[in-house]
Amino acid sequence: MACEDLKIPETIPVMVLGGATLFPHGYMPLFIFERRYRAMLNHALERDRMFCIGHARAGIGVESSTDPVHHITTVGLVRACVTHPDGTSHLMLSGIQRVEIIGWEQHAPFRIASIVPLPCYLGDPSAAASAALELVDLSSRLCGEGQGISEQLREHLRCVKDPTAIADVVGQSFVNDPGERQKLLEMNNVNERLDYLVSHLSHLIAAGGK
Question: Is-above-0.85 flag for pTM?
Answer: yes
Q: What is the pLDDT of residue 1?
A: 43
Q: What is the pLDDT of residues 43-100, one digit of tens each?
A: 999 999 999 999 998 877 778 788 899 999 999 999 999 999 999 999 999 999 999 9
Collapsed DSSP state (helix, strand, coil) of residue 5: helix
Mean pLDDT in residue range 138-160: 68
Torsional sign, CA 142, 145, 147, 148: positive
Cα 93–Cα 99–Cα 104 angle in degrees, nearest 5:
95
Question: In this structure, are residues 94 and 77 in contact, taking their beta carbons and an 8 Å threshold?
Answer: yes
DSSP symbol at 9? P
- β 11-17/50-55 pair status: parallel
Report the pLDDT value the prediction gives residue 4, as an integer from 0 to 100. Answer: 54
Q: What's the mean pLDDT in 171-186?
A: 93
Amino acid at 144: G
DSSP designation for 189:
B
Among 25-39, 104-118, 130-144, whose mean pLDDT is lowest? 130-144
Using CB atoms within 10 Å of the CB of residue 148, give its burial: 0 to 12 exposed, 13 to 18 middle, 19+ buried: exposed
**pLDDT of amino acid 144:** 58
Contact (CB, 8 A) for 163 and 194: yes
The answer to whether residue 3 scores a pLDDT higher than 60 is no
Query: pLDDT digits over 193-210, tens only?
Result: 999 999 999 998 888 765
In contact, 76 and 53? CB cutoff 8 Å = yes
CA distance 97 to 185: 11
Q: What average pLDDT score do residues 143-157 get?
A: 62
Q: In this structure, are residues 68 and 16 in contact, taking their beta carbons and an 8 Å threshold?
A: yes
